[in-house]
Amino acid sequence: MDEQLFFKKLNSLCTSKEIFYFLSSLEVMSDTMASGALQKISELEVDDNGLKNPALLDNEVFRALCFQFELESSKLSNTGLLNALQALIKLRIDPESTLMTSLLSESEERLGRGQLTAEHLCALGESLLELEGPSCATLEQIVNHMQRRDINSWSPREIVMVYKILEVSVREGKQWQSLLNRLNGVTLHAVSQLSPNFVSVILNSLVALHQTRAVLLVTALCKHSVQHVPYFTDHELVNVLEAFLYFGQKMQIFTEALERHVPKSICTMHPQTVSKVMQYCCKKMILSKPIFDAVADGFISSADRLTTDQIAAYIIPFGTLNYLPPSASSLFRKLETVLHTRLRHFQPHTLLNLLHSCVLIQRYPINFLPKIFSPYFLQKLQAQPPGLNRVVMSQLTQLFLTVTLECPFYEGPKLLSKYQVKAFPTPQSSLDVHLFKRVKTGLLYLLKKRIYFASEVSTPYFYVVDIEIKLDEEGFVLPAAQLEEVHKRIALCVDGQNRFCAHSHNLLGEEAIKQRHLQLLGYEVVQIPFFEIESLQNTRKIADYLHRKIFPCTYELSN
């Protein structure tokens, strides 16, 4: 049969049974046709879980094909040899079998004799990588052969294959940075030609190869990935998101592409992919209501099928970014049900992170706190990394403070003082130094003397107040150092951009709970957000703004 007619017929077949029937009707076929048939069988019979029907390996036609390839390996064309090798690896044929050793040996001999074209080098490289135990020497040989050709003429497939080989070689301690620099430069000009799979593979390799200096290439790949978001497989999308996180990339157009894709795909997306999307949003402080609402609905319907780590990955960003979706009541009812049935399966730190995120958004895990505050659980926390470090103890303390202030009906075990921090850690990035300086200058203009306000004040209640002003019973401002006759304390929260979700006026969970608790502890909380003050051009206008915010009654009288 003519090869063109053969492949047309082969591509129209939908099952391996049909293929075997078709092959048995032919008297003669070339090795290219036979290897093409093996490739078609591997496409139909192999999925993410492996070989669908192992019995097909015992089929007479299949065995006859394999026997012929083993017997005549030295007479095969390069295309027939390497296509057959790729298909048989995909079909999970034992690498130690005489068939596979024969094909591999013949391939390596032809490589050594320089008989393989660029396309064949790619096919061999991909096969060796797929075997998961590649000989580094053979892979290096392939790269050396590739380098003899003009790197600028490499096809996208060749570029991808070399990245994958270099990734393996570098893991084994080889140094290829000069080749990588050239490869990165060539890839930059080929970005627009890359398929979704190639974009994902190259980004994954750049992460593994720590190519933090390839800024132009990474940026170009991330921009190009936007158009591929609807077409990435779950695994490919995870690779892309990991690259965005590793290289610190954040693009509004990428977020918008995710917002279009995730809500309509949530029912079919793998939970690990959804977890990675939520991790990306959480790390980048991106409060995307379309994504979060879809994930909440997805959790309600599929929570019973999630692992404990996936449950935490779905829920924690809601607390971190201080967002309650429209389905919040159903979401947290489902979470409570899941916790009741699977509480003992959670790792201690995962459970603490999960419950702490809930209280940030006023969802109180009352039924589970006796376990959290129990000596046994605290010992388990201490025994597992990162142990009882300051962050972990702050979470425990904040949980305890929350039930004390917001759930006075809680009568379970208390958190022992030895597990409580003296003050919650304030990250250096939490305070916007420039904004803080402008507010202090405005206050000095308003109150005339620096003694009338204190900055970064530690309270007995674990929190640090940005600026504190004390008033007596008649509403007059007292010196900050005065301890007697203090009738009211005003806490000014100087909230820079880093206390809000990205491109949003939505406070982060940690800041929202702090302001809520300060209010419950008797402070009058006055929020000074960056977006209200950034347009004020001089000190007098800032002072006027602060007068209106802090002393609204006297401001009205003075006007």
CA distance 280 to 244: 8
Residue 209 has pLDDT above 70, yes or no: yes
Q: Nearest 5°: phi and psi at 458?
A: -75, 135
Cα–Cα distances (Å) from 157 to 48, 122, 390, in that order, read 22, 7, 49
Beta strands at 50-51 and 477-478: parallel, antiparallel or unpaired: unpaired
For the stretch 425-438, pLDDT in tens is 876 557 899 999 99
Does the N-terminal peptide bond of residue 386 adopt cis geometry, omega within 30 degrees of 0?
A: yes
* Mean pLDDT, all residues of the chain: 92
Q: What is the model's pLDDT at position 129? A: 83
pLDDT of 267 > 60? The answer is yes
Q: For the chain, what percent of residues have pLDDT higher than 70?
A: 97
Give residue 291's pLDDT.
98
In this prediction, residue 427 carries a pLDDT of 66
Q: What gap in Å lies between CA 132 and CA 153, rounded to an integer?
A: 28
pLDDT at res. 559: 47
CB 543 within 8 A of CB 445: yes
143 versus 549: which is more confidently predicted?
549
Q: CA triplet 39, 44, 48: central angle to 5 degrees?
A: 105
Over residues 88-126, the pLDDT tens digits come to 999 999 989 999 999 999 999 999 998 988 888 888 988
Is the pLDDT assigned to residue 557 strictly greater than 50?
Answer: no
Where helices occur in 361-472 by DSSP H, the ranges are 369-372, 375-383, 390-406, 433-447
Note the pLDDT tens digit of each residue in 503-536: 999 999 999 999 999 999 999 999 999 999 999 9
Mean pLDDT check: name the lowest of 151-160, 219-228, 229-238.
151-160
CB 303 within 8 A of CB 338: yes
Question: What's the pLDDT score for residue 368?
Answer: 95
Burial code of 99-120, b = ≥16 C-beta within 10 A, e = fewer?
Answer: bbebbbebbbebbeeeebebeb
- List C-alpha distances in Å: 18 to 40, 41, 268, 435: 11, 10, 30, 72
Q: Does the pLDDT at position 549 exceed 80? A: yes
Please say if the pLDDT value at position 424 is more than 60: yes
Residue 558 reports pLDDT greater than 60: no
Q: What mean pLDDT comes out for the span 78-94?
A: 93
162, pLDDT greater than 90: no
Could you read off the pLDDT of 44-59 as tens digits, one per residue? 998 878 888 888 899 9
Report how many helices (DSSP H) and strands (DSSP E) the chain contains, helices first: 27, 7
Is residue 252 scored above 80 in pLDDT? yes
- Write down the pLDDT at residue 430: 78
Kindly state the average pLDDT of the residues 440-457: 95
With cut-offs at 50, 70 and 90, classify the pLDDT of residue 538.
very high
Bridging pattern class, strands 488-495 and 464-471: antiparallel
Between 132 and 101, the more confident residue is 101
Region 64-73 average pLDDT: 92
Taken in order 254, 258, 260, 265, the sign of the CA dihedral is positive
**Vertex 231: Cα angle to 228 and 234 (nearest 5):** 110
